[in-house]
Homo-oligomer: A and B are copies of this chain.
Amino acid sequence: MQHFWLSILSGLCLQLVLPCKAEEGLEFPNFDGKDRVLDINERNYKKALKRYDLLCLFYHEPVPANKGLQKRFQMTELVLELTAQVLEDKDIGFGMVDSQKDAKVAKKLGLEEVGSVYVFKEDRVIEFDGELSADTLVEFLLDVLEDPVEIINNAMELRAFERMEEDIRLIGYFKGEDSYFKAFQEASERFQPYIKFFATFEKSVAKHLSLKMNEVNFYEPFMEEPAILPGRPLSEMDIIEFVNQHRRATLRKLRAENMFEIWEDDMDGIHIVAFAEEEDPDGYGFLEVLKDVARENTNNPELSIVWIDPDDFPLLTTYWEKTFKLDLFRPQIGVVNVTDADSVWLDMSNDEDLPTAEDLEDWIEDVLSGKVNTEDDDEFADDQEDDRYVLEDGDESPGPDEEDDEDD
């Protein structure tokens, strides 16, 4: 029953519980009690689509009969209400679509995954598959409101562009807002806000990037050199197809805004997961090694490493430590089976130094060949071939991992 408080508290800001501070300027929003979220149905959905720049719909299961679940459901509504209130001046409509009662509307709108949020912008539908908190949703919607193509005008903006190594980015050089630019822009709308599109009309910027007129470059995260899209000028479909083929990066950072999407995009049921705090000297060093490995293996379609910076997910850190039996004050790399969260981790605890790029490549090769996998320990926990690998359910305890906790 109390479970519905659960995640409510994730980001709960107590500031308003505290006595008023004398200073003004940092007030977190209060839900004002006004209903802004529409109950979408056959009669009003077309009007809602027309009326707003963006329409943000939560596609949900029927309201449950159980009281505890009802409260949860109300909380969901309240998150949408707060998001709607915060974004009140932005011309965004919000609504709920019941998968049973409004099945026809859902079909017409193309809603598929119950529990997802769908954002309608002009003739496009964007699925939000991130952490469904007000913070993350607000940030996502603000990103969707921006122009899908950002123009790079000068050397300073170019430097900003070059620093965004964590993102998938495309940049094109165009004469101006001509038909080729428009094709690029149309393509960009398909991927907004997940993939970033830039354009320049400046010869000096293009020269610095070695971009020819009407050429488009694709930057995979953490890679030094871009891929050049074949052919020019490019049609909208040329660009869309290229991006779809290349969007799973060799090294991808988990972010709140698309964490579930990335997690669902596993490689045959597993993920290679690396934990590294970028702000920590150890973590930074490990990440640099990881980037080297990714750069060396960027053409291997079998390889995609999910990098998680624990600093970005404070509430998940101890959950991961428990689930994977890890110390996340240190960098870690392992294989996670996404169906049961079973995992096996590279043992770096006894090394003074972090593994080299070669060590990591050897280990990754063992993972890809199946030599290192999450299943061996289930059957042969006592019988490890290689003690460099720490099994998730504890390399010192011979028994199954349900063992009683004897200390404390």
Indicate which residue in B10, B156, B266 contacts A134 across the interface (CB closer than 8 Å): B10
Asked if A318 is at the interface of the complex by the 8 Å CB criterion, the answer is yes
Asked if A384 is at the interface of the complex by the 8 Å CB criterion, the answer is no
Stretch of A28-36, A45-53, A175-183, A375-383 on the interface side: A28-36
Evaluate contact between B23 and A6: CB separation under 8 angstroms.
no
Asked if A348 is at the interface of the complex by the 8 Å CB criterion, the answer is no
- Chain B residues lying within 8 Å of A154, measured Cβ to Cβ, are 285
Q: How many copies of this chain?
A: 2
Evaluate contact between B13 and A281: CB separation under 8 angstroms.
no
- Name the residue of chain B whose CB is nearest to the CB of A87: B318
Indicate which residue in B9, B19, B87, B279 contacts A115 across the interface (CB closer than 8 Å): B19
- Chain B residues lying within 8 Å of A259, measured Cβ to Cβ, are 26
Evaluate contact between A133 and B318: CB separation under 8 angstroms.
no
Asked if A315 is at the interface of the complex by the 8 Å CB criterion, the answer is yes
Asked if A284 is at the interface of the complex by the 8 Å CB criterion, the answer is yes
Evaluate contact between B160 and A285: CB separation under 8 angstroms.
yes
- Determine how close the nearest CB of chain B comes to the CB of A67; give it in whole angstroms: 15
- Determine how close the nearest CB of chain B comes to the CB of A97; give it in whole angstroms: 14
Evaluate contact between A11 and B133: CB separation under 8 angstroms.
yes
Evaluate contact between A315 and B29: CB separation under 8 angstroms.
yes
Asked if A159 is at the interface of the complex by the 8 Å CB criterion, the answer is yes
- Chain B residues lying within 8 Å of A13, measured Cβ to Cβ, are 7, 10-11, 131-133
| Docked complex: A291-338 residues within 8 A CB-CB of B | 311, 314-319, 321-323, 329, 336, 338
- Determine how close the nearest CB of chain B comes to the CB of A317; give it in whole angstroms: 7
User: What sequence of 0s and 1s flags, for each residue 273-294 of chain A, a beta carbon within 8 Å of any chain B beta carbon?
Assistant: 1000001111111001000000
- Name the residue of chain B whose CB is nearest to the CB of A156: B285
- Name the residue of chain B whose CB is nearest to the CB of A159: B284
A23 to B323, CA, bound (A): 14
- Chain B residues lying within 8 Å of A242, measured Cβ to Cβ, are none
A72 to B15, CA, bound (A): 11
Indicate which residue in B86, B282, B284, B318 contacts A315 across the interface (CB closer than 8 Å): B86
- Name the residue of chain B whose CB is nearest to the CB of A27: B319
Asked if A191 is at the interface of the complex by the 8 Å CB criterion, the answer is no
Evaluate contact between B90 and A279: CB separation under 8 angstroms.
no
- Determine how close the nearest CB of chain B comes to the CB of A9; give it in whole angstroms: 4
Can you list 29 A-B pairs with a CB-CB distance of less than 8 A? A3-B33, A6-B16, A7-B14, A7-B28, A7-B30, A8-B12, A10-B28, A10-B133, A10-B134, A11-B13, A11-B133, A12-B12, A12-B78, A12-B133, A13-B133, A15-B260, A17-B72, A17-B115, A19-B115, A23-B266, A23-B338, A25-B341, A29-B319, A90-B318, A138-B318, A139-B314, A154-B285, A159-B288, A160-B280
